[in-house]
Amino acid sequence: MAAEGYHDAVWQSVPEGAKPADAQLRRAFVLEHVAQLAGRPERAGERRPRVLDVGCGEGQLADELQRAGADVVGIDVAQEALRRARERHPAVELKLVPERGPWPFADASFDLAWAGDTIEHVTDTASWLSEVRRVLRSGGTLLLSTPAHDRFTLLAFALSPRRFDRHFDPRSDHLRFYTARTLRRLLEDFRFEEVEVRGAGGLPGARRLLLAAARRASF
């Protein structure tokens, strides 16, 4: 199956309008950063901040970010996701992009890029992060989320073969599995600075979600 067909097939299996787990945690995280960016004194009188929603899915958060004061472009690799997004949020600019890039944007086009539970699905992480860097302006912000794999979570997998097999099922669309440490190192390797990674949801040592913020290094 071609990559495009694969991603559409994944989306066909997701009920329309389904609410992802921990959606409110991701929503609060991104909206807080966008509000801070839009409200900076040095931006007074300037254009609205440009935000790229990478892996926008059905477009709910892209629409909220736009209503929060940003100019938003949502991108996805699945036609089915974008079909749903266009029906629900016609005011949001949406683009289909190839899985391996390049994306149809000039260098330094965006002030902020948000990728909600997307990086774990990416086949070529190096190319993907290179595109994120390319389209962010110097000093721009990258925000992302991904499932967490804290030490107690990993211990639970080790003690339950059935749970391990279910989580790491080779037929799953999750291709990468991150801890806070490996995610931080990855972003630093791609010349992101001021990298902050924290867990959210669940309990200490067994968080469900990683939330990361980083700044693109200056040119």
- Compute the distance between CA of residue 128 and CA of residue 148 in angstroms, rounded to an integer: 20
- Compute the distance between CA of residue 98 and CA of residue 120 in angstroms, rounded to an integer: 17
pLDDT 10s digits, 17-42: 888 889 999 999 999 999 888 766 55
User: Would you write out the chain's pLDDT as a tens digit for each of its 219 residues?
Assistant: 455 588 888 888 888 888 888 999 999 999 999 988 876 655 555 678 999 999 999 999 999 999 998 999 999 999 999 999 999 999 999 999 998 889 999 999 999 999 999 999 999 999 999 999 999 999 999 999 999 988 777 777 777 888 777 777 777 778 898 999 999 999 999 999 999 999 999 888 788 999 999 999 876
Q: Give all domains of the chain, ordered by start, each with its CATH number.
A: 3-7+22-216 (3.40.50.150)
Q: Which two tokens stand for residue 47?
A: 């254009």
Contact in structure between 183 and 150 (CB atoms under 8 Å): no
Q: Identify whether 102 is preceded by a cis peptide bond (ω within 30 of 0).
A: yes
- Burial class of residue 141, CB neighbours in 10 A (0-12, 13-18, 19+): buried
Q: 145 by DSSP, 3-state: which?
A: strand
Residue 2: its pLDDT value, please?
54
Q: Which two tokens stand for residue 154?
A: 């990993």
Interior/surface letters 8-31, b for 16+ CB within 10 angstroms, e for the rest: bebbeeeeeeeeeebeeebeebbb
Residue 219: its pLDDT value, please?
62
- Compute the distance between CA of residue 4 and CA of residue 118 in angstroms, rounded to an integer: 16
